[in-house]
Amino acid sequence: MTLRTRSRLGGISRLLAPLSARLRKHVFQCRFCDCSTTMAEEAKKLAAYAAVNNHIQHNHVVGVGSGSTIVYAVDRLAERVRQEKLNIVCIPTSFQARQLVLQNGLCLSDLDRYPELDVVIDGADEVDASLTLIKGGGGCLTQEKIVAGCAKQFIVIADYRKDSKMLGQQWKKGVPVEVIPMAHVPVSRAIVRRFGGEVVLRMAVSKAGPVVTDNSNFILDWKFECAQNWKEVNTAIKMIPGVVETGLFVDMAKRVYFGMQDGSVKTRDCPIH
């Protein structure tokens, strides 16, 4: 390394010195590696920690969502239970959530014993301006919606990539619809006939054939063409024989926490809750 290069590098590191560790990490990672993944993971963690810090209290019955963002929430929940000796009961929304609860040594229960929850924390694939959500990217929508429907507060955690004015802006994989296997063709045809777009049967990655949900059903992904009245669409799709549930969560979320790229957390509240 020449003296000139060394002095240039010294100048750069002096310039960076006042920046926070997180920002410095991003500056370097943005230039030299796959920083977008690191930033998104950091953003998920920020949102998850903020939600657990703000909404979980002693003696709460807590619904545990599914996906990659919820992993950070369960980490923080377990940390708070250990540190603050909180008495918390967890209701899972999927096989994955159940495993997370058990692996973190948290108290596992179910809706038979706790049909009313204090708070449910869950991720989302996309959130629009009025807090309508698309969920089910990981195939867990039905149990998630059941558990969220039993909660006094349904809190969503997401990174900045999920934040949209209108559904479909960010999330391009469509609305997941869980169906009884024998009905997947008629349901697909009925959705396209009524609402247009395209419906695809979700295929498994490390298994031959379709994805099979925790409830032994299939998932259709409806790639819609334009913005819709999501409340009406949700009701209409649910009326098609063979449909178990849709990944449209309308008027359910009370607050969304978005972890942002700059290390902040943005919240959006539902006007009707």
Q: How far is the CB of 67 from ligand R5P (least distance, A)?
A: 3
Identify whether the C-beta of residue 249 lies closer than 8 Å to the C-beta of residue 148: yes
Of 27 and 41, nearer to ligand R5P (C-beta) is 41
* Contact set for ligand R5P, span 68-97 (CB under 6 A): 68-69
The binder of ligand R5P chosen from 138, 168, 174, 242 (CB under 6 A): 138
Calpha distance 90→109 (Å, rounded): 6
144 classed as catalytic: yes
Helices (H), 112-173: 141-149
From first CA to last CA, the distance across the chain in angstroms is: 61
Question: Would you count residue 144 as binding ligand R5P (CB under 6 A)?
Answer: yes
Identify whether the C-beta of residue 259 lies closer than 8 Å to the C-beta of residue 265: yes
Identify whether the C-beta of residue 51 lies closer than 8 Å to the C-beta of residue 121: yes
Identify whether the C-beta of residue 180 lies closer than 8 Å to the C-beta of residue 244: yes
Of 27 and 265, nearer to ligand R5P (C-beta) is 265
Q: How far is the CB of 136 from ligand R5P (least distance, A)?
A: 5
Catalytic residue chosen out of the listed positions 79, 84, 116, 144: 144
Q: How far is the CB of 214 from ligand R5P (least distance, A)?
A: 10
- Provide the 3-class DSSP secondary structure of residue 64: strand
Q: How far is the CB of 193 from ligand R5P (least distance, A)?
A: 26
Question: Would you count residue 125 as binding ligand R5P (CB under 6 A)?
Answer: yes
Question: Would you count residue 143 as binding ligand R5P (CB under 6 A)?
Answer: no
Which residues 6+ apart lie within 8 Å of 46 measured at CB?
Answer: 259, 260, 263, 264, 265
CB atoms within 10 A of CB 194: 11
Q: Which residue has the tokens 């807090």?
A: 131
Question: Which of 103, 39, 38, 115 is closest to 71 using CA atoms?
Answer: 103
Please count the residues of this chain forming the interface with ligand R5P, following the rule CB under 6 A. 17
Question: Would you count residue 168 as binding ligand R5P (CB under 6 A)?
Answer: no
- Provide the 3-class DSSP secondary structure of residue 40: helix
The binder of ligand R5P chosen from 48, 64, 77, 141 (CB under 6 A): 141
Question: Would you count residue 42 as binding ligand R5P (CB under 6 A)?
Answer: no
Of 93 and 188, nearer to ligand R5P (C-beta) is 93
Question: Would you count residue 250 as binding ligand R5P (CB under 6 A)?
Answer: no
The residues that are catalytic are 144
Chain residues in the site for ligand R5P (CB under 6 A):
65-69, 122-125, 135-141, 144
